[in-house]
Copies of this chain bind each other. A is one copy, B any other.
Amino acid sequence: MTTAPLRKDAARNWERIVAVARELVDEGTPLQLNDIARRVHMGVGTVYRHFPTAEALLETVATPSLEALTAHGEQALADEDPKRALTDFLTRTIEAQVTDASLSPVTAAPTDALPRTTELKQTLWSVGGQLLERAHDAEVVRTDLTSDDMVPLMCGIAFAASVHGSPAARVETARRYLTALLEGLYVR
């Protein structure tokens, strides 16, 4: 589904690489294609064929989360309460960022390795922008923050939660920070 339909064995290889990369991301190990090749018992060349750079692999690992976020965002657009819609969306975004270590670098990167990533990120920004705009229009949020600020702020909160916190407490911490920010964001 990435580009061209892969042969069955090639597809299996692709899956195994991504699966192992996912594990590495989860345990905080940096992705090194050599390392991964060893772990999946393939030649480096094979790994390079599937993923020309470590970034491409990382983005592939992040893709499901990005897709899920996008889907949620689109559902939120269907919510008739603009404030709730925005809050839900941002909460999910933050939770995902804090939970999935592949998201922060991919989200914050100024440039992407895969077109699919660019596409997803744009959709996400767009959805976020629309949600914010609706909230603006409904006069439930202040107007000095724009849709361009959504991504940085979410990254910032995720980052804040990762400073000095046990990984276990991160989700809770991030929620608190988001709450504080939202309190500031909402018109009262």
Interface residues of A (CB under 8 A from B): 108, 110, 142, 144-145, 148-149, 151-153, 155-161, 163-165, 173, 176-177, 179-185, 188
Contacts and interface: CB of A to CB of B under 8 A. Distances in A.
A144 B179 contact: yes
A102 to B, nearest CB: 16
A159 B162 CA distance: 12
Contacts of A165: 152
A183 B144 CA distance: 12
A143 to B, nearest CB: 11
Nearest to A157: B156
A164 B144 contact: no
A145 B161 CA distance: 13
Contact of A144 (B157, B158, B180, B182): B180
A23 B157 CA distance: 29
Contacts of A148: 164
B180 A151 contact: no
B145 A180 contact: yes
A163 B184 contact: no
Contacts of A184: 179-185
Given A184-B183, A185-B184, A177 B149 contact: yes
B144 A176 contact: yes
Contacts of A161: 152, 156
A153 B177 contact: yes
Contacts of A159: 155-156, 159-160
A40 B165 CA distance: 39
Contacts of A153: 160, 177, 180
Nearest to A186: B184
